[in-house]
Structure 1
């Protein structure tokens, strides 16, 4: 039996101006590297307290599992507590599908987690109709 090495997620960081941090994600984001990815992104944000926008370029994301999704959710929470807007740019079809299936698309891509995306069903009304 031949095994292949696990394709690690890698990131490339580019500071764009003083207020924007751009991180390009490549490879897999899964149970083997999700925790390290969260620590890495949190450290980069902590090193840039003037940042107001974090742009994660997802074009190079080959695979994401439930732990990878959890990592994105943790990054979103961390970004929100530090008043940084998270942007998931260049989302591949498999990521877009996962976000829609899990109901996390609006939370991860909306400015405050409440924005309804185009084509999303209306939010349920409170109380009886």
Structure 2
């Protein structure tokens, strides 16, 4: 497997899958969410907000890492969604990502769900 140029640190990229369900947009980032990949998630989340997705559910189960840039993307999206009358919910948080949110106090501003089904069960505008 080619891992880039000699001396270059290998980084796993980020893929972002977006799907619509009744009243919600489900965004599933997979890989490492950091300053190299944050724009990809930022763009997908912004598109969900502007396309009228009242409820954005971020399926975090595929996240392997999240740095402060990734956390800032999540926080900025929460504000943008709330200004548009919607909300952001986080689901299936891996321990490494949950720890980042816990340390920074971000769990206090997000609704975090154990499962994706639980996150999708709430009312659409919430």
Specify every segment of 5 or more residues in structure 2 that has no aligned partner in the other structure, as ranges. 1-5, 113-126
Specify every segment of 5 or more residues in structure 1 that has no aligned partner in the other structure, as ranges. 111-129
1:52 Cα deviation after fit: 2.0
101, 104, 109: which one aligns with 1:102: 104
Query: What pairs up with 1:1-129 in 2 under 5 angstroms?
Result: 1=6, 3=8, 5-17=10-22, 19-47=23-51, 49=52, 51-109=53-111
What is the TM-score normalised by the length of structure 2? 0.76
Work out the number of aligned pairs and report it: 107
Following the alignment from structure 1 to structure 2, what is the Cα–Cα distance between the partners of residues 99 and 3? 29
What is the TM-score normalised by the length of structure 1? 0.75
Question: RMSD of the TM alignment (CA)?
Answer: 1.7
Q: Relative CO higher for 1 or 2, CA cutoff 8 Å, sep ≥ 6?
A: 2
Bigger helix fraction? 2
Q: Which protein is bigger by CA-based radius of gyration?
A: 1
Moved over 3 A (4+): 1-5
